[in-house]
Amino acid sequence: MSTCSSSSARPLKIGIIGFGNFAQFLSKTMIKQGHSLRATSRSDHSQLCKQLGIPFYRDMSAFLESDNEVVLICTSILSLSQVVKPMPFNSLKRPTLFVDVLSVKEFPRDLLLQVLPENMDLLCTHPMFGPESGKHGWQDLSFMYDRVRIRDEALCYSFIHIFSSEGCRMLEMSCEEHDKLAARTQFLTHTIGRILSEMDVEPTPLDTKGFQKLFEVKESTVKDSFDLFSGLFIHNRFARQQMQSLEEALEKTKRKLQERMESST
């Protein structure tokens, strides 16, 4: 993005598909920055949008006709295909920048390249934070992006500037590299948290600092839906290897303990 300076960033017309908790969280900062928003969603968020001063569209064709410069896709991972495949792209009035914010990256990249008209730009992103971790601001929180198909550099820059101007740590990397790293961090964290939840782990009077951190992992991960966790596994090809490695590590640890127990008797 070296061709643009911060002074060239400008307010954008951004349409949001999927106005759930995460989209609502992002929209508050976008509104504060002066961007013009409109939204559509399978659930009825018309009252909330009215409070925020955002037009809410029930009809996808009308939404796409509303002259968006950027279409921000904030659906769940599992519902992405059924949302974007039937979209009437012929309703778009101009070449548009499509941006996704899903927690996996190769899957939306490949699907959107398949369904988007050739003249539409595509930016794949992952804000590595949410309503809880970002409630006091986005300073030093990570924002990953991959400029998959970009011709309008100024428009792409203005969108990325939404995050860089808030102090995010900007990470440009390929979708493949993201998924590889995310399987070893985000997916592994969610898996450990879900395992602890299945064990009904709760605080005790004897808790160590280490256990308290584990309990925090359990509590934070179960706040996210099981659909999100499922999506991290189903649509990140590296997650399956990570799950296998976790199972193998558990078995290896059990064998070592068994061998030590047998040698001590």
Which ranges of 58-204 does DSSP label H, i.e. alpha helix? 60-64, 80-84, 106-115, 153-164, 175-182, 188-198
CATH 3.40.50.720 residue ranges for the chain: 8-173
For residue 197, the one-letter residue type is S
DSSP for 110-139 reads: HHHHHHS-TTSEEEEEEES--TTTTTT--T
Write down the pLDDT at residue 2: 46
Q: Could you read off the pLDDT of 139-189 as tens digits, one per residue?
A: 999 999 999 999 999 999 999 999 999 999 999 999 999 999 999 999 999
Write down the pLDDT at residue 8: 79
Write down the pLDDT at residue 41: 96
Write down the pLDDT at residue 132: 85
The mean per-residue pLDDT over the stretch 243-259 comes to 97
Distances (CA, A) of 68 to 32, 72, 155, 178, 235: 18, 10, 12, 28, 28
**Can you tell me whether residue 4 is helix, strand or coil?**
coil
| Axis-axis angle for helices 226-234, 237-263 (nearest 10) | 100
Q: Please, are residues 11 and 33 in contact by the beta-carbon 8 Å criterion?
A: yes
pLDDT at residue 253 is higher than 70: yes
For residue 51, the one-letter residue type is Q
- Residues in Cβ contact with 137 at an 8 Å cutoff, skipping those fewer than 6 apart: 166, 167
The mean per-residue pLDDT over the stretch 67-95 comes to 95
**Can you tell me whether residue 176 is helix, strand or coil?**
helix
Short-list 83, 40, 91, CA closest to 61: 91
| Partners of 71 in the β-ladder | 15, 98
**Domain 8-173 CATH assignment equals 3.90.1300.10:** no
The mean per-residue pLDDT over the stretch 225-251 comes to 96
Q: Please, are residues 77 and 235 in contact by the beta-carbon 8 Å criterion?
A: yes
pLDDT at residue 3 is higher than 70: no
Short-list 49, 44, 9, 5, CA closest to 31: 49
b (16+ CB within 10 A) / e for 152-172: eeebbbbbbbbbbebebeebe
C-beta neighbour count of 99 within 10 angstroms? 23
Write down the pLDDT at residue 117: 95
Short-list 186, 98, 180, 194, CA closest to 142: 186
pTM of the model: 0.90
pLDDT at residue 1 is higher than 70: no
Write down the pLDDT at residue 9: 87
The mean per-residue pLDDT over the stretch 229-257 comes to 96
pLDDT exceeding 70 applies to what percent of the chain?
97
CA 125 to chain centre: 7
